Amino acid sequence: MQRKGENALTIAERDVEVEARRRRVEAIEAVPESAPELVAALYDENVRVRQAAAEQLARVEPTPEVLSAVLHVLSSTGDVGARNAAAKTLGLIGSAAVAPLAQLLKTGSDDVRRFAAEVLGEIAYGDSAAVLIEALSDVDLNVRVSAAEALGRIGGIAASRALNELLAAPEPILQVCALESLAALDAPVALPRLVPLLNAVPSRRSAYRLLGQLRHPAAFGLICRGLSSVGRDAALLGLGAWRDGLGSEAEEALKHSQGLVADSVEWLKRSLLQDDRQVRLGALRLTVALNEPALAPALAQASHGGDLGEVVLHALMRLGPGGVSALLKGTPAPIIELEDEARAVACEAVLRSADPSVVSLLERLMREGDRELSDLAARALGRTLSLEALAPLAEALDIDELSSAAARGLRVLGATFPSEVAAVLEVGLQKAVRPHALRAYATVWRDKAGKRIREAAKHSDPRVRAAAVESAEFMGSVGLSELLSAALVDESAHVRRSAARALGKVPGAVAVPLLKRALDDSEAAVQAAAAWSVALQGASEYRPELEQVAAAPSGPVALAALQALFSLDGLDDRTLAAATSHSDPEVVKLALAYGADSVAGVKRALSALTHSRWDVRVAAARVLAVSAEREALVALHRALEAETDDLAREVLMAAATVLTKR
């Protein structure tokens, strides 16, 4: 935060000072003798320093003296930052702090009792439930509220009973706390206790949220009734919290609830944009029940938090082609205005639900949308499985920005209308041989495209030659070996790589004799493609060549060779040793993973615990957790002592924990 009168230089200098203080605190030894110094740091003016002090103090043995010092900060200071840091410390200390906190909850000042209740809730130790239940009768309302919230984190039968009784409290805030805590615990509540709270404004939202967890027809009926009342916003929470699937009868009841609501559609549009996830989920379920296509754009936006993507997609698909039309109609089309997650979900729904009724709308989107939407429209046109889509896709072939997407759409459409699509593509290829159009032509026309593929393989443009080679799998056996042989010695590495990849897709009788030439290529990309083709062909006779390629300095080449060797019959000890010593850490990590099924692999993983890269050390620890015996604990503990990376320490500790149980 910038203070009044500070400039950028002053702020930078202050940040340096803060960082220096934080590091000094982190360097203090976590022993009881250091407690006074760490407690003093709880008063630092900067929150990062106070956080570091709290974390370091929590690592100190919680002796009575240490606990007393921290509790003194909590109970006697007017410094809010220090008090919050003390509360954080006690929460991190955990169960050892429960007894003194329980005492403070009985004897401290109002603020201290409230803090004590909050920290006991953070610790969530079951034995503290009794003192918190007692605190529900505290003279201070804030203490009672904090105690109710804490019980919602701790749980247990006694806590649930006390919270149920609290529903009858005269203070609305206590009722709300009890409702929210019971909902968090998924605790049973008698329906008659909830009904009065559904009508009270302060408790309505929390009561409906809990109502949605009851899973009973009467509860669902109350939600449906609420959806047509003044409390409909709260009722959406209950519908969002409903955990059972909604059958046709339930959806019919939801639809009936909106029969006399004049502004239902506009209300749902607003509700689908709410921040509360359960409100959005409830609005989504009601939208599906209404089957109102006009809500499709708002429905797509319900995924804006990134947490309802799959549910929203399913709902959009339930709306069918009508929902797609709603996303595409208008100027501009609503889908153009969508952003991020909402657009991604809407695009997927358009692809999956497109049918002949939206051909004209997709054609317009292909011409008016941005690059992403034009591509979507072209692919969706192919999925309409309508001959009406053929003309706009054919026209788009002649537009540079659209030709690639149009070719993909024609490829999909060609599965239903092969001769019609092939004829359109043939006309386009006669005008200009475009790589994507050639690939689409080969996919649709298959062995009938052989002549065109052979001609294209001699084209002056290497991109066209590469496309011809990639299409070789469709051309049949006539001239296939000659075409691939010529491509493997092409002057363009792009063409040779395409040929190497094609060797994995054509008949083995043609491919296997040519694989050695591809593996011996001077270009790393060609070698990598060839390695994968060896695996696809199951050509184990090339194992010696693959082992040689696996030792190549190029990381991508070595990775491809390792993947091929593993898919054939695994890595031998010599290859494993070479790969785990490779300069590329990605190769080392993959080799460690592939070696997890052997004694040699475990030895390599033990050695990798001292690797200079933290991610390699993590990979080694994960292998040991799966494959090592208890004897590896010595090396793991040694690695833990030397480890400086937090994530690596976490994985090393997890591996050590697993081995102690072996």
pLDDT at 2: 47
Q: What is the DSSP string of 18-52?
A: HHHHHHHHHHS--SGGGHHHHHHHTT-SSHHHHHH
Q: Is the residue at 68 inside a domain? A: no
Enumerate residues 6+ apart whose C-beta is below 8 A from 650: none
Q: Is the residue at 650 inside a domain? A: yes
Per-block mean pLDDT, blocks of 10 residues, the chain (662 long)? 49 70 88 91 91 91 91 82 89 89 89 90 88 94 95 93 95 95 92 93 94 92 93 94 88 90 91 93 94 94 84 94 94 91 94 94 90 91 94 87 87 93 91 91 92 94 96 90 96 97 95 95 95 95 93 93 92 93 95 94 95 96 94 91 89 91 82
Structure tokens at 182: 């019971």
Q: Residue 237: CA atoms inside 13 Å, Cβ hemisphere, count?
A: 17
What range does the domain containing 617 cover? 582-662
Phi, psi of 505 (to 5 degrees): -115, -15
CB 304 within 8 A of CB 245: no
In whole angstroms, give the CA distance from residue 624 to residue 157: 41
Q: Is the residue at 636 inside a domain? A: yes
pLDDT at 9: 43
Q: Buried (b) or exposed (e) across 114-151, using 16+ Cβ within 10 A?
A: bbbbbbbbebbbeebbebbbebbebeeeebbbbbbbbb
In whole angstroms, give the CA distance from residue 551 to residue 542: 15
Q: What is the pTM of this model?
A: 0.72
Q: Is the residue at 617 inside a domain? A: yes
Q: Is the residue at 6 inside a domain? A: no
In whole angstroms, give the CA distance from residue 65 to residue 35: 9
Domain count, the chain: 1
Enumerate residues 6+ apart whose C-beta is below 8 A from 309: 303, 341, 344, 345
Enumerate residues 6+ apart whose C-beta is below 8 A from 1: none
User: Please, what is the Cα angle at 202 between 197 and 208, to 5 degrees?
Assistant: 45
Enumerate residues 6+ apart whose C-beta is below 8 A from 274: 280, 283
Q: Is the residue at 610 inside a domain? A: yes
Q: Which of 32, 136, 270, 181 is nearest to 189 (CA)?
A: 181
pLDDT at 260: 76
Q: Is the residue at 628 inside a domain? A: yes
pLDDT at 77: 64
Q: Is the residue at 339 inside a domain? A: no
